[in-house]
């Protein structure tokens, strides 16, 4: 059964990983979100990465649960900003 599934994935015209591509945002979108985060963080106590994931509708468990804003900022800039 597993062998059949792997064979079907290999034969597919579109590679499996393309269906789960990373969403990219602009620097402007990021800066707008950052100003909104200040309010979210103070009012609701939401983590930096958690707010980012919620705002841009992302599923990124590492970013979502990380509590260091500096690390999150670096990660976001390397991963999501184009």
The three state secondary structure string of 5-64 is HHHHHHHCCCCHHHHHCCCCECHHHHHHHHHHHHHHHHHHCCCHHHHHHHHHCCCCHHHH
pLDDT cut 70: percent of the chain above it: 74
Residue 28 lies in a domain: yes
Question: How many structural domains is the chain composed of?
Answer: 1
Residue 2 lies in a domain: no
Range of the domain at 37: 22-79
- Work out the mean pLDDT of the chain and round it to a whole number: 83
Residue 16 lies in a domain: no
What local confidence, expressed as pLDDT, does residue 15 receive?
A: 46
For residues 3-22, average pLDDT: 55
Residue 9 lies in a domain: no
Residue 62 lies in a domain: yes
pTM over 0.85: no
What local confidence, expressed as pLDDT, does residue 9 receive?
A: 54
Cβ atoms within 10 Å, residue 68:
12
| Residues contacting 53, CB < 8 A, separation 6+ | 59, 60, 63, 64
Residue 32 lies in a domain: yes
């Amino acid at each position: 059964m597993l062998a059949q599934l792997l064979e079907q994935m290999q034969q597919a015209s579109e590679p499996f990983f393309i269906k789960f591509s990373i969403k990219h945002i602009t620097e402007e979108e990021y800066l707008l979100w950052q100003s909104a985060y200040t309010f979210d963080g103070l009012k609701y106590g939401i983590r930096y990465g958690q707010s980012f994931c919620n705002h841009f509708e992302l599923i990124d468990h590492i970013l979502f649960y990380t509590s260091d804003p500096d690390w999150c900022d670096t990660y976001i800039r390397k991963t999501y900003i184009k």
